[in-house]
């Protein structure tokens, strides 16, 4: 069989000692796009790779295990453990891809583990803090104030993420349920509303009116809402309500999880409602508030009150 004039990419890799960094990035990000990863995930990879290169002062494709260990040691001087682990996860994804596709002989992350970090207490809001927050919001008597009240109710009722909330369209609201389409794991899910949230949301939609944008929650200019503005407004409300804890969409998500666990919901149902990909975080919630569950069992156990 006659030889071709040009070698294939695979044949060139055999001849060449190393793949160039530009080629490695091109192949890695092409794979990311083919797997339809979220733009935010791809941007996260790019930012972490850039930061790691700056700290190492070396091309990532030429790094070995010693370089990664040095990266960790240098990072510990200037970063929190969670930030370092975030970077290590990005590097692991990159090197695992290169090793799997035989673009490098072995991943320098093969023997590198994430740093152990002390588990922090997950803050939640109690009944009085939620009521104080609502009082502060309702004092405004404006469209924006009413919108923020509905946003708070939806957060607490459904446990949706901030990115999911801003992606809700008007037609996604169907009676006592909302179809969440802009999800973290790309799987649509349905969340359910209590009677009070359903009724208030109906009133909000009427006041909102018909606009050019289909987004459910809008700003004062009748345009889709920016996630950062929601975060900053609830931070302000928290200060006005004199709540010492962090008041944020993520705090509302934790609060919803705790209140559902306290009400007796099972872990699998909670995992489905919150849109977790696996049980890891859900189990952590259950373990964290296990003492509360034990107390509830003592108060309302099935044998309590029986004359036996």
* Domain annotation covers residue 249: yes
Shared domain for 136 and 273, answered yes or no, is yes
* Residues 103-133: tens digit of each pLDDT: 888 899 999 998 887 666 678 899 999 999 9
CA distances from 221 to 48, 142, 211, 224, 232 (A): 35, 14, 11, 9, 18
User: What's the number of domains the chain is made of?
Assistant: 2
Helices (H), 101-218: 127-138, 143-158, 162-166, 195-208
Range of the domain at 93: 19-100
The distance of Cα 304 from the centroid of its chain, to the nearest Å, equals: 40
Shared domain for 282 and 145, answered yes or no, is yes
Shared domain for 160 and 211, answered yes or no, is yes
* Domain annotation covers residue 113: no
* pLDDT of the residue at 25: 94
Shared domain for 77 and 167, answered yes or no, is no
* Residues 220-251: tens digit of each pLDDT: 999 999 999 999 999 999 999 999 999 999 99
* pLDDT of the residue at 109: 94
| HSE (side-chain half, CA atoms, 13 Å) at 187 | 10
């Amino acid at each position: 069989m006659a030889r071709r004039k040009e070698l294939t990419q695979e044949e060139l890799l055999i001849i060449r000692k190393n793949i160039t960094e530009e080629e490695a990035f091109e192949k890695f990000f092409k794979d990311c796009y083919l797997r339809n990863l979220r733009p935010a995930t791809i941007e996260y990879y790019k930012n972490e790779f850039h930061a790691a290169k700056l700290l190492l002062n070396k091309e990532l494709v030429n790094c070995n295990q010693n370089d990664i260990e040095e990266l960790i040691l240098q990072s510990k001087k200037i970063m929190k453990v969670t930030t370092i682990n975030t970077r290590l996860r990005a590097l692991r994804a990159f090197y695992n891809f290169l090793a799997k596709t035989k673009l490098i002989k072995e991943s320098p992350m093969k023997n590198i583990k994430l740093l152990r970090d002390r588990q922090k207490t997950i803050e939640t809001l109690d009944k009085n803090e939620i009521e104080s927050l609502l009082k502060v919001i309702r004092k405004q008597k404006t469209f924006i104030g009413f919108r923020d009240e509905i946003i708070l109710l939806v957060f607490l009722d459904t446990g949706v993420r901030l990115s999911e909330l801003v992606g809700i369209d008007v037609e996604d609201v169907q009676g006592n349920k909302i179809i969440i389409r802009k999800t973290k794991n790309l799987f649509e899910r349905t969340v359910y509303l209590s009677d009070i949230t359903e009724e208030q949301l109906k009133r909000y939609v009427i006041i909102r009116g018909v606009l050019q944008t289909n987004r459910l929650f809008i700003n004062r200019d009748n345009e889709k809402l920016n996630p950062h503005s929601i975060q900053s407004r609830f931070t302000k409300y928290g200060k006005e309500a004199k709540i010492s804890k962090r008041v944020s969409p993520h705090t509302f998500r934790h609060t919803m999880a705790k209140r559902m666990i306290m009400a007796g919901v099972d872990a699998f149902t909670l995992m489905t409602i919150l849109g977790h990909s696996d049980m890891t975080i859900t189990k952590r919630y259950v373990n964290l508030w296990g003492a509360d569950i034990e107390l509830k069992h003592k108060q309302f156990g099935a044998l309590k009150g029986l004359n036996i």
